[in-house]
Amino acid sequence: MTEPAVRCTELSHSFGATRAVDGVDLEIHAGEVFGLLGPNGAGKTTTLRMITTLLPTSPGHITVFGVDVARRRMAVRRLIGYVPQQLSADGALTGRENVALFARLFDVPRARRAPQVGSALELVGLTDDADRTAKTYSGGMIRRLELAQALVSSPRLLILDEPTIGLDPVARSSVWERISEIRAATGMTVLVTTHYMDEAEQYCDRVALMHTGRIRALGTPADLEAGLGPESTLDDVFRAVTGNRLQSEEGGIRSVRATRRTARRLG
């Protein structure tokens, strides 16, 4: 059997008295688009930060393509491209310069940098705008630029934390279309967190519904919905397993926060 892209075993993490992640077992198949869904505070970002080596994994255990995250952090980092929630593009640099900076940071060999920067920009549809400063980009273009930054080292696993938050519906679908195309073109595994149910239904092969640090349901969107009954949505499934609604009003507040952050960083 193919090695899973990610295998998490009994993953837990506490911040003081807050149990952010509470006994998560999870396997992400190589080549799939996997959605980790849940409301604010569910433990999604903490889980991603453990997989990306930014937080300790103990007492649990994680492997990325069979490589132990606790023991071989640098080897794991080379396998991963990570787009965090906080923006990471510099408005004073051009799109190409931003991506080139990441190529250097991620140790892409000098001779391969220019071609890899060019193909990362092409994968996200920014070739024509590559030599404009990032402060002239729209919110959707910035997200695509961040995708290019994460793609420039040709990772096998692309991890995206709320990639479409704060974007309008057109920009949201444009980001998702790029993600789908990149997966099709490269066979890359994609792990994404979102609280937009419609996006997860449309673009994820499988999803895990997370609540108070635990995985409450896992499967394809269609199977999870069918398990509940005809006409069910993922939001209904989430409510059935937790008693709460997934799509809270807070999404709006966070969107505004994210938009403000964009304005501040790039303005």
Ligand X SMILES: Nc1ncnc2c1ncn2[C@@H]1O[C@H](COP(=O)(O)OP(=O)(O)OP(=O)(O)O)[C@@H](O)[C@H]1O
Question: Given the complex with ligand X, which of 15 and 229 has the nearer CB atom?
Answer: 15
Question: Given the complex with ligand X, which of 15 and 25 has the nearer CB atom?
Answer: 15
Provide, rounded to whole angstroms, the least separation between the CB of residue 59 and ligand X.
Answer: 17
Sort 83 into a burial class: Cβ within 10 Å, 0-12 / 13-18 / 19+: buried
Question: Given the complex with ligand X, which of 24 and 103 has the nearer CB atom?
Answer: 24
- Copy the structure tokens of residue 175: 């980001």
Residue 20, classed as helix, strand or coil, is: strand
Task: Give the rounded distance of the alpha carbon of 261 from its chain centre.
Answer: 18
Binding site for ligand X (CB under 6 A): 15, 18, 20, 38, 40-46
Instruction: Please name the helix (run of DSSP H) or strand (run of DSSP E) that holds residue 69, with its range, or none.
Output: none
Question: Given the complex with ligand X, which of 44 and 214 has the nearer CB atom?
Answer: 44
Provide, rounded to whole angstroms, the least separation between the CB of residue 6 and ligand X.
Answer: 16
Provide, rounded to whole angstroms, the least separation between the CB of residue 51 and ligand X.
Answer: 12
Question: Given the complex with ligand X, which of 21 and 123 has the nearer CB atom?
Answer: 21
Strand partners, 194: 37
Residue 266 corresponds to which amino acid? L
Provide, rounded to whole angstroms, the least separation between the CB of residue 20 and ligand X.
Answer: 3
Question: Given the complex with ligand X, which of 100 and 258 has the nearer CB atom?
Answer: 258
Strand partners, 24: 11
Asked if residues 126 and 144 have their Cβ atoms less than 8 Å apart, the reply is yes
Q: Distance between CA atoms of 5 and 191, rounded to whole angstroms?
A: 10
Question: Given the complex with ligand X, which of 6 and 108 has the nearer CB atom?
Answer: 6
**Which of 162, 202, 211, 152 is closest to 182 using CA atoms?**
152
Residue 59, classed as helix, strand or coil, is: coil
Provide, rounded to whole angstroms, the least separation between the CB of residue 216 and ligand X.
Answer: 13
DSSP string computed for 122-167: HHTT-GGGTTSBGGGS-HHHHHHHHHHHHHTT--SEEEEESTTTT-
Residue 219, classed as helix, strand or coil, is: strand
CA atoms within 13 A on the CB side of 159: 25
Q: Distance between CA atoms of 192 and 95, rounded to whole angstroms?
A: 23
Provide, rounded to whole angstroms, the least separation between the CB of residue 46 and ligand X.
Answer: 3
Provide, rounded to whole angstroms, the least separation between the CB of residue 100 and ligand X.
Answer: 30
Question: Given the complex with ligand X, which of 8 and 103 has the nearer CB atom?
Answer: 8
Provide, rounded to whole angstroms, the least separation between the CB of residue 152 and ligand X.
Answer: 25
